[in-house]
């Protein structure tokens, strides 16, 4: 017996630990803890993944497997949460790389444009309002920050949006009608 044991079931004599299912029908297996795979079981979410890590969700679980892909199934909530977290991290890295490359490109373009405008400004071709406009344009080009990477927020919809996310007035008992304010 485990050192964590607190009691013995009076019906089957099985060991009861914290988290054990308390209702017994005479079999020690009835006391499986709530942390078992059975307690977390969900209807499997099927996806296809290739060697490069690219993910594809088929229209149905029985869809034919594309060439170069492997069929995978998420069968527990923990596995689905881990999968969503990993996909969000992966997509965040890809988004940051894309934004970094875009910033690098535009910094170079704006640097060349600012240098061209500065040479025209110093040559005396711009005066008055045109010179002020050129100075503002040069300052904006030199201070270009670029956009920030988006947050991917990848999720598997059936696991995130269920009846707990739906407004109370928008359910089958109200014929799914929107509330009129």
Distances (CA, A) of 50 to 84, 85, 89, 143: 17, 19, 18, 42
Give me the sheet containing 55-56, strands edge to edge.
55-56, 41-50, 69-76
Distances (CA, A) of 171 to 26, 161, 175: 41, 14, 6
- The candidate with the shortest Cα–Cα distance to 153, out of 100, 97, 95, is 95
pLDDT at 71: 94
pLDDT at 50: 93
Q: Where are the alpha helices (DSSP H) in 17-128?
A: 37-40, 77-122
Question: Can you tell me the distance from the alpha carbon of 43 to that of 159, in angstroms, rounded to the nearest whole number?
Answer: 10
| Residue pLDDT, tens place only, 28-86 | 777 666 555 444 456 788 999 999 988 988 888 888 999 999 999 988 878 888 999 99
Considering only residues 119 and 34, tell me which one the structure prediction assigns the higher pLDDT. Answer: 119
Distances (CA, A) of 132 to 36, 115, 126: 71, 16, 9
Question: Can you tell me the distance from the alpha carbon of 29 to that of 25, in angstroms, rounded to the nearest whole number?
Answer: 9
Q: Which residues pair with 56 in a beta bridge?
A: 48
Q: Report residue 13 as tokens.
A: 């004599």
Q: Please state whether 128 falls in left (phi above 0), alpha (psi between -120 and 50) or beta.
A: left
Question: Can you tell me the distance from the alpha carbon of 179 to that of 97, in angstroms, rounded to the nearest whole number?
Answer: 43
Distances (CA, A) of 59 to 56, 80, 139: 10, 18, 51
pLDDT at 60: 85
pLDDT at 31: 66
Let me know how long the chain is.
181
């Amino acid at each position: 017996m485990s050192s964590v044991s607190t009691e013995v079931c009076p019906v089957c004599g099985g060991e009861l630990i914290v988290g054990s299912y308390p209702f017994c029908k005479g079999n020690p297996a009835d006391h499986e803890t709530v942390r078992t795979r059975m307690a977390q079981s969900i209807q499997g979410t099927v996806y296809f993944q290739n060697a490069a890590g690219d993910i594809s969700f088929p229209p149905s679980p029985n869809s034919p497997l594309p060439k170069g892909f492997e069929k995978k199934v998420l069968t527990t909530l923990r596995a689905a949460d881990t999968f969503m977290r990993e996909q969000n991290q992966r997509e965040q890295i890809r988004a940051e790389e894309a934004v970094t490359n875009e910033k690098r490109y535009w910094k170079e373009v704006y640097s060349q444009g600012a240098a061209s405008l500065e040479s025209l400004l110093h040559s005396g071709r711009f005066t008055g309002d045109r010179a002020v406009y050129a100075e503002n344009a040069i300052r904006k080009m030199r201070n270009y920050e670029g956009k920030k990477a988006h947050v991917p927020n990848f999720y598997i919809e059936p696991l995130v949006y269920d009846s707990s996310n739906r407004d109370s007035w928008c359910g089958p008992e109200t014929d799914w009608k929107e509330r009129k304010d």
